[in-house]
Structure 1
């Protein structure tokens, strides 16, 4: 029988020893770090803290106190904006998705809303709606990402229509917004920013650019910008493949923890996990961790994905199943049932490293954490 060391679990956690830990202090630290990346000369841009997808899986309610230093919040849709108001946020709220139908205009019942406008019909819906509040609008340029927004040849006509509505008192100020497709690359915003500036040349109104990658790699570009919109870096993950969060002086705001719940001595030639995806070359000890794809851990994470067991870095073996995964205990011969396991975000194991091993990005893991994983707040420092 393998040795057992089942530690005491904090009150409030479920019987299953899997939980995420969220650190609001880390979010506050990262916000301050991003402010330092803003241009030092002239009027520094204001900062929207992007909290869509429930603050990248961290929980808006949990981290909202840490965002007191932000100038505004950015969300995807109006329901998220209204939720922020109910939580007590009184500052501006940018709504990336704008309006999805004419009925959405009925939700514009709070002050300080800023709507991103991506097509002409949204302006028509606003013009026809009996608005109790006048939202500011930001015209999105389609740019080099070509997701939503106005193409260069349609942009000025959209601006004239929005400006006419503003003069009639139907909406508030009209601004210009761009999102870069390749901000994580050296020189990745140069051409895109130049084209954007040509499109809006001579048009009054504030400008908003720069996600986390653009701000950290091309911060000087924000000198002629009134608002920046970081997201991922607020939560302590690097947006770059070649630069770690630690190198960027960011602190991870979420960590995922579990325990060993089983130890198997597996003979040479045997397979581990579904389909025997990992074949044992020499007899070895395999640890079983209670965490699987139903918890948000990527099923496609391959053998070799890093895991920390009892403070020692080791690797995932075979396929991740719904509720558990197997890990190599060769580097951790002292491990026993109940040994702590870190899956990402602590002990030097960055979420972006795990994501890269699984062929995805950090935001995919953070936002994909399952509702069945209990979350606790880290102790305040």
Structure 2
């Protein structure tokens, strides 16, 4: 499993632009008022819920892949039957699948979904998700990582709760390169000409590149974006940047065609198992911390049960078991102590991995980027896609 396979490129204007066009053609306004979001909750008598997630994004039993230990434990403890589907392969594709129901004030058939935060921002702005009741979620209230509590699109995480998190930084092969990389500017050294790749997705790529230019990504402006694009454009023309990639950067880096690239922390952990010379670096200027989050869509039939399931995954014991399997940045820092106390050497070592549990010094260099607004997106996407060649 790779993060890049999930954090996919938003092409052109995207779904937000399509919604705007529909609103001008006699289709009902997309925004849903808070008073219209809740449906009749059947949780008290209908002990089930439907949970839609990405493929390979939950722990499974090594001897029986149909079993999911952390999910099975919830079912056994609560008596709630969870229909778990791995139906999300692309943020935009999933948006297109469920948006007709949400726009027309219909139940999507799903009680809980996981999508990337930049797409969560769209759902929150449209009023397509329900506010969670934190009185039913004491673990979330207590254990959610402070770094992830206040994204710009959902202050206080009222509508979303991180499932897993990750870092966008730089991966490189130290043995082949023969030196360290510590700054974004190191990517532009002469010995890397034609051996560097950047991510093709606008939402995935822009923050780290801005940070390399000294920009505070929590409050970036359009001028910052265009200045960054000017620099990228020059390096595309000079052929310093080899190409823009999705998750195929993994193959390029592992094969040696590329010596350094924009990358996701979760991918590099997997690459290091086969090649310890591959390193992941959070540049001195900082890196983007992102999340993929749980949301309860409007009119979900089992809201209270869904809230219980979210809180289940914020129990440090449960979060530790999930982190040990998926190896992303765990949104529950308290899970580190659980793993550290394990008698299993591999699990105890995972507690010391800064790409799963960032230490204090690393955390100071991580930031959540301000999301791109619907008004900004058309022009910014057009500029970025012209560089990428989309």
TM-score with structure 2 length normalisation?
Answer: 0.23
Q: Which has the larger radius of gyration?
A: 1
Structure with greater strand share of residues: 1
Structure with greater helix share of residues: 2
TM-score with structure 1 length normalisation?
Answer: 0.23
